[in-house]
A and B are shown apart, each in its own frame.
Chain A
Amino acid sequence: MSRHVVCRVDELPPGQHRIISVRGRTIGVFNVNGEYHALLNRCPHRAAPLCQGVVTGLITSPAQYQRELTRDGEIVRCPWHGWEFDITDGRSVFNPHRVRTRTYEVFVETAPPGEDEDPDADAAGAQLVQATIGPDDPDPTLETYPVEVEQQFVVLYLGQSKPAARPE
């Protein structure tokens, strides 16, 4: 299990996704209506960069010749051959039981990043929450109060199993 801070929550609003590189693989991290999901950026068909495809919805047919766009924002179409995958579980639409791509756990957590293995993300996180006092700062003898900026981060977990307990 490894833990990777992806970005600040406000950097990944609903409907957006970003593709990050983690431990030699690229992964798409999606914000679908406020819920976060991560897919391996690799179509099981021909290894195309799946997450670079169009994010769309599921077209269903309530009756013959009627088409309805449902679950808008929850489907990604592979940019190569148009195979559709459910962002929430990595399963293909046309054969969900046999054709699917890898998914990962994503959580929203409060800093500090702690055991984060990604030094870049670590540094970025630290920068955001640390304050230093320089020579031009106000007189330190003045009465001051400790201030902590609590910032929420999107955190990705790589590994075989889910985290035992979701960090608060």
Chain B
Amino acid sequence: MEHGTTALAPRGMDLGQPVIDTDIHCNVPNVRALFPYLSEHWREYITYSAFKGPVDTAYPRGAATSSLPGTSGPDGEAPGTSLKLVREQVLDPWNVELGILNCTYAVESLHNPDTAAAMASAVNDWMIAEWLAEEPRLRASMVAPSRVPEMAAQEIDRIGSHPGIVQVFLPVVSEAPYGHRRYWPIFEAAQRHDLTVSLQFGGAPGNPPTGAGWPSYYLEDYAGMAQVFQTQILNLVVEGVFDHFPRLRIAMIEGGWTWIPSLMWRIDKDWKGLRREVPWNTMPPSDYIRGRMRFSLQPLDAAPDPKHMLQLIEQIGSDDVLMFSTDYPHWHFDRPEEAVPAGLPAELRRKILSENARSFYRFDK
């Protein structure tokens, strides 16, 4: 694997205003980096068992869609492991006022709940100490051992009031749809600390990434992730999560968004006749999506014509739902000009670049 090529090193762009980047990835370079944040017992356990950390297969290294060349460190460090590079390649060149770190450390792949909880705590303490404390522009989504929601809630209670922690990170592929009651302790804890919850591309290894089972190719896994996001949205709405947790907000990160209108049309249509199944829903499903969910801008499954992009946003029926993201170091656009749809009206553009995220994450508080 080639590291350090600068052929497509990310370049920023002056968008005419500071932006809020809702999806910047940071990665744990290796399991030993977490040792300062693990108890003696876990350090000994990891050393003794030669455990190398959870396996995250969502973005296989070297796959074309993974990370932009030029984002690896000079000594071959994985993309997203260096705060220095994040500053140089994202925060400075994009004029990022605030950036939210998402660490895809797949603790949900660990079947031992105590290990998962210990690793999650270590990752969170590592992010707080080595990223948030070092860089005032950064905020973070905390990792949670979501297989055992009660333990996830404990972790949320442990660090959820830290001013740099703004969100609870969950992988979009889960053992069961997140609206199910078993996950409610997570939402309850998130609401208690006024944290948003994000569902992020990728997921718990061991579960097929499609409703039809295991696909054959990474291409299918990658392009088909939108259907997992849709499944989660439907379930979260109809299970009544938003009715039951009136202050809960959920972000869909790196799942695309151009499919939102058809999803809204379909579920609103069917709800009219099937409402009595879910009488706790007090409004049409699309109103929950517009009111309580936000979507990161990238990947932008862009129609080539800017007027079609604008039509899609009009069809969503809200200027509030999209939030700027670079998804650094992932590779969704080749040229900086492709990061934001062209031809957006000024006010809408300003909302997408910063105001929607500012209000969703309560950054004004």
B279–A64 contact, CB under 8 A?
Answer: no
B243–A83 contact, CB under 8 A?
Answer: no
Interface residues of B in 296-338 (CB under 8 A from A): none
A61–B279 contact, CB under 8 A?
Answer: yes
**Does B280 count as interface, using CB distance less than 8 angstroms?**
yes
B284–A94 contact, CB under 8 A?
Answer: yes
Q: How far apart are the CA atoms of A83 and B272 in the complex, in Å?
A: 6
Interface residues of A in 35-61 (CB under 8 A from B): 45, 59-61
A59–B276 contact, CB under 8 A?
Answer: yes
- Of B273, B275, B280, B284, which one neighbours A65 at CB under 8 angstroms? B280
B272–A65 contact, CB under 8 A?
Answer: no
Task: Please give, as numbers and ranges, the residues of chain B lying within 8 Å of A78 by CB-CB distance.
Answer: 273
**Does A81 count as interface, using CB distance less than 8 angstroms?**
yes
Interface residues of A in 73-111 (CB under 8 A from B): 78, 81-84, 92-95
B32 → A minimal CB distance (Å): 45
Contacts across chains A and B counted by CB atoms under 8 Å: 32
B240–A94 contact, CB under 8 A?
Answer: no
- Chain B: residues with Cβ within 8 Å of the partner, total of 13
Q: Which residue, B275, B279, B284, has most C-beta atoms of chain A within 10 A?
A: B279
**Does B271 count as interface, using CB distance less than 8 angstroms?**
yes
**Does A67 count as interface, using CB distance less than 8 angstroms?**
yes
A23 → B minimal CB distance (Å): 30
The DSSP consensus for interface residues of chain B is helix
Q: How far apart are the CA atoms of A30 and B284 in the complex, in Å?
A: 29
Task: Please give, as numbers and ranges, the residues of chain A lying within 8 Å of B273 by CB-CB distance.
Answer: 78, 81-83
**Does B176 count as interface, using CB distance less than 8 angstroms?**
no
Task: Please give, as numbers and ranges, the residues of chain A lying within 8 Å of B280 by CB-CB distance.
Answer: 61, 64-65
B246 → A minimal CB distance (Å): 12
Q: Tell whether A94 pairs with B279 under 8 Å between CB atoms, given A64-B240, A64-B244.
A: no
Q: How far apart are the CA atoms of A84 and B274 in the complex, in Å?
A: 9
A59–B279 contact, CB under 8 A?
Answer: yes
B240–A81 contact, CB under 8 A?
Answer: no
Task: Please give, as numbers and ranges, the residues of chain B lying within 8 Å of A84 by CB-CB distance.
Answer: 275-276
Q: How far apart are the CA atoms of A8 and B280 in the complex, in Å?
A: 41
A97 → B minimal CB distance (Å): 13
Task: Please give, as numbers and ranges, the residues of chain B lying within 8 Å of A83 by CB-CB distance.
Answer: 272-273
Task: Please give, as numbers and ranges, the residues of chain A lying within 8 Å of B276 by CB-CB distance.
Answer: 59, 84
A94–B275 contact, CB under 8 A?
Answer: yes
B282 → A minimal CB distance (Å): 9
A60–B279 contact, CB under 8 A?
Answer: yes
**Of all chain A residues, which has the CB nearest B280?**
A61
**Of all chain B residues, which has the CB nearest A78?**
B273
B243–A94 contact, CB under 8 A?
Answer: no
B274–A82 contact, CB under 8 A?
Answer: yes
A93 → B minimal CB distance (Å): 7
**Of all chain A residues, which has the CB nearest B240?**
A64
Q: Tell whether A65 pairs with B271 under 8 Å between CB atoms, given A59-B279, A60-B279, A84-B276.
A: no
A94–B244 contact, CB under 8 A?
Answer: no
Q: How far apart are the CA atoms of A60 and B281 in the complex, in Å?
A: 10
Task: Please give, as numbers and ranges, the residues of chain B lying within 8 Å of A64 by CB-CB distance.
Answer: 240, 243-244, 280
Task: Please give, as numbers and ranges, the residues of chain B lying within 8 Å of A45 by CB-CB distance.
Answer: 272
A81–B279 contact, CB under 8 A?
Answer: no
B300 → A minimal CB distance (Å): 34
Task: Please give, as numbers and ranges, the residues of chain A lying within 8 Å of B240 by CB-CB distance.
Answer: 61, 64-65
Q: How far apart are the CA atoms of A75 and B274 in the complex, in Å?
A: 14
**Of all chain B residues, which has the CB nearest A63?**
B280
Task: Please give, as numbers and ranges, the residues of chain A lying within 8 Å of B279 by CB-CB distance.
Answer: 59-61, 67
A7 → B minimal CB distance (Å): 31
**Of all chain A residues, which has the CB nearest B269?**
A81
26 A-B residue pairings within 8 Å (CB atoms):
A61-B279, A61-B280, A64-B240, A64-B243, A64-B244, A64-B280, A65-B181, A65-B240, A65-B280, A67-B279, A78-B273, A81-B272, A81-B273, A82-B273, A82-B274, A83-B272, A83-B273, A84-B275, A84-B276, A92-B272, A93-B275, A94-B271, A94-B272, A94-B275, A94-B284, A95-B272
B residues lining the A interface (CB < 8 Å)? 181, 240, 243-244, 271-276, 279-280, 284
The 7 closest A-B CB pairs, nearest first, are: A82-B273, A61-B280, A61-B279, A59-B276, A81-B273, A59-B279, A64-B244
Q: A59-B276, A83-B272 are in contact. List 14 more A-B contacts (CB 8 A).
A: A59-B279, A64-B243, A64-B244, A64-B280, A78-B273, A81-B273, A82-B273, A82-B274, A83-B273, A84-B275, A92-B272, A93-B275, A94-B271, A94-B284
